[in-house]
Structure 1
Amino acid sequence: MNKNLKIGYFLAFVNELYLPVAIWILFFLRYLDFTHVAILGALSTISSNLFEIPTGAISDLIGRKWTLFLSYIISTTGLLVIATGNVFLVFAIGRIINGLGTSLFSGTHESLMYDTLKSEGKETSYDGVAAKVQTLMWVGLFVAAVTGGFIYDVWPAGPYLITAAFYIIAALSCLFIDEPRIDSEKFNFRNYMKQNLRGFSELFQNERTVRISLLLTTVGAGYFFALRLLGPSQAVQYGLTGKGIGLLFGTGYIIAALASHFYPSLRKRFGNSKLLILASAALLTSFIFAPFVGIALGSGLILLRISSSTTFRNAQSVIVNKFIDSKNRATALSTLALLSEIPFTLTFYFVGDYIDKNSPNSFALLLGGILIILIVPQVFFGRKYLFGKNSKQTC
């Protein structure tokens, strides 16, 4: 196996070995209220999106090897800033630094793997490589969630400091990367904007794509609220410790990985559209019933939402692939993801303030009600594209 691929697999695992993944809200709540925690949750999203353009140029200027090295050094710095902080401003600086590190890694790692294969004329095997990367990422998430939860209960700053140590090891491993001879992607701001506009226009090119894209964006926004703030804060409200939260989310990641693995079989039996609706129903159920259950059923609802998230993402990917030109597919999916993030980035302050004055589960009920009002009409008016004869061309 090519040395670059081995290092790439290692980096995929270590990058998800982010020990604060399940307990980060618990850590910040030691010093802040939910309003400020929500701001921190939004900062990483906003900063990583803003840094996406300049980091593409950096990767082209200094190469994949040094960009990945730099991403881990920067991420390590952000983790150390957070671990040693105790006020909002310091935490905010750390999150912004982490956003920069994340944006440096994301596209660079993927292009390293692809360009390495292309340099050897083996790019047709990329799907298999990508599948292994996804598996390693899920394993990393599981290990991080469980381990981080246990460590947090005895050493609150430990998950951040230990992750920083892991990232330093990852940075050192980047020094052994051989820069691929072929660079399949040269960053250009004009081309970047054209590609994004092209992906956006394909998502909204006619009534069929508009209805499906809006539905996917709406459901995706619900999952993003849960990912960025609601899930961990609900676990805190249920009274779970760091250990309990880690075990809960770790279990959820394993179930999600299994659901993703068996998705092709589920798709053959139910179809993409029905799986999309089932995932949406699971999301809404986890929100609507949250205020009325105890710790056991509440934890079950969080597990339901985590495990259904991969079903939604897989269904989304397949459905979009049916009506988007293959050369614009990745951009279209990125555009959908960005659109799904917008509601949270526009409302994070009000969400945090609402949770402070009420509770996470109270907001879950409110969010679930809003999503029902938005999703049900979209499914009803778009049913001919989801379930009718037109669905064969789309889903």
Structure 2
Amino acid sequence: MTYGTLGLIDALAFGFGVLVEIPTGAVADLLGKRRTIIAAMATATLGIILMTHTWNQWGMLFGFLLAQLGWALYSGAGEAMAYDTLVDQKRESEFEKVISSASSAGLIVTVLTIIIGGFFYALYFQLPHIMWWITYALGLILAFGITEPNADTEKFSWKGYFKQLSTGFGQLLSPKLRRYLVFILGLNGVFIIYDWGLVKPAMLEHFGYYANEQAIVFAVLGIIGAVFVKSLPKIRKIFGDIKGLYLLSMLIGFSYLIMYFNLGYYGLITVAIIDIFGRMIYPWLSVVVNKEIPSKYRATTISTSTLISRIPYVIVALLAGAAAENGTLNEFSLGIGTAFLAMIGLSVILSFQKLFARINSKL
């Protein structure tokens, strides 16, 4: 399959995943997180099995759709369950440490799987994917041992379901979370554009780093990223949420712009900035969102924020595939960087206007 075909499959499956994000979050809030996580692991396992053993684009697409459904089911339920469990234990103040440690551990596991996957690929080209679905199957077995937290889970009804959707979305638009929408949509969105699909490997290939070099690069960046994510509580304490997220936005936005130039091997610096600092975005926003919303709407609101952050990728996935195939990734990165920094600039201007309006009202 060509980059163009992969880009089309990626866009269709990712678009489907976006469509089911909020509905699956509402299911978790109404039916319970434990049941939803079990369903998520089962669906994702089946999807990965199909992607691994298919030999045409239709099997790849259907398997990807199943996997996206599983990931959507898990995205709101898993995080909400962790927070609700801490609430049961009266330890919710530790959530920031938990989410940063979990994200850091995830990066370390990713590094290990990249290294191990290289050896498996040398033995048999499908072996890494086979091990992928085997680990998901083990996760499914472990999911049955999860205990449901004593949160506000309601009896399912279609009326309650649609009410849950609207209320959960409304939570994200509340005054406390509204000012973070630019980071949920823009900052997390541009990192997903880089991290998901084919943009990351294609960009490194554009700078002269191929399969063997990429395995080393991703391993090193993963280790460094894990250190930064583990330090998230200290970083938040130093900069604060708004200033810190704006700083991340500037670093990542300008890195996209600089990618436009013919940097050769030095292009790795821009990739490293996006990869390392981008790893802090999701856990950072997760802490902000979780502490501001009640338990009964938590999974729905988290799924809504996930949906919003994935919208940019759905829009540009086909363009990314075409850019990778046509050798125009530098123009693609310039467009992404320009649009994102314009969004951040507009957000800053609006923030200052509101600040001046409040000052004038007090005079």
Q: Normalising by structure 2, report the TM-score.
A: 0.78
The answer on whether the counterparts of 1:275 and 1:312 sit within 8 Å (CA) in structure 2 is no
Partner of 1:64: 34
Q: Which amino acid aligns with 1:103?
A: A
Structure 2 residue runs without a partner (length 5+): 359-363
Q: Which residue is equivalent to 1:87?
A: 56
1:277 to 246, 250, 274: 246
Further displaced range: 156-165 or 333-342: 333-342
Corresponding position of 2:217: 248
**For residues 172 and 325 of structure 1, what CA distance do their matches in structure 2 show?**
31
* Deviations 1:205-237 (CA, angstroms, capped at 9, x unpaired): 56x965652354222221221122322221233
- 8 Å contact 1:150–1:242 — kept in the other structure? no
Distance 1:200 1:61 in 2: 18
Query: How many angstroms apart in 2 are the aligned matches of 1:139 and 1:325?
Result: 30
| Other-structure match for 2:361 | none
Match of 2:200 in 1: 231
Secondary structure of the equivalent of 2:266? helix
CA distance in 2, matches of 1:143, 1:50: 32
Q: For CA contacts below 8 A with separation 6 or more, give which structure has more relative contact order.
A: 2
User: Does 1:170 find its partner at 2:156?
Assistant: no
Deviation at residue 73 of structure 1 after TM alignment: 4.0
Residue number in structure 2 paired with 1:124:
91
Matches within 5 A, 1:201-350: 201-204=170-173, 212-214=180-182, 216-229=184-197, 230-317=199-286, 324=292, 326=294, 331-350=300-319
Superposed CA offset, 1:306-344 (max 9, x none): 21123434554566679x555566654543332221232
Q: Can you list the C-alpha shifts for 1:229-258, whole angstroms capped at 9, x where unaligned? A: 322221233343334323322332332222
Answer whether contact 1:43 1:95 (CA < 8 A) is retained: no
Partners of 2:329 and 2:318 lie apart in 1 by 14
How far apart are the structure 2 equivalents of 1:154 and 1:252? 25
Distance in 2 (CA, whole Å) between partners of 1:228 and 1:274 is 26
Q: For 1:388 and 1:154, locate their aligned partners in 2 and report how far apart those are by CA, in whole Å.
A: 64
Partner deviation per Cα, 1:18-73 (whole Å, 9 max, x = no partner) = xxxxxxxxxxxxxx2222222232344333344453686599779836x5555444
Cα 1:217/1:117, change in 2 over 3 Å: closer
C-alpha displacement of 1:144: 2.3
Instruction: Measure, in 1, the Cα distance between the counterparts of 2:10 and 2:137.
Output: 24
CA distance in 2 between counterparts of 1:205 and 1:182 reads: 25
| SS across alignment from 1:382 | helix
* CA–CA separation in structure 1 for the residues paired with 2:134 and 2:165: 36
Gaps of 5+ in 1: 1-31, 391-395
Q: 1:69 to 1:356 in 2, by over 3 A?
A: same
What's the TM-score once normalised by structure 1's chain length?
Answer: 0.73
Aligned-pair RMSD on alpha carbons?
Answer: 3.8
Q: State the identity %.
A: 21
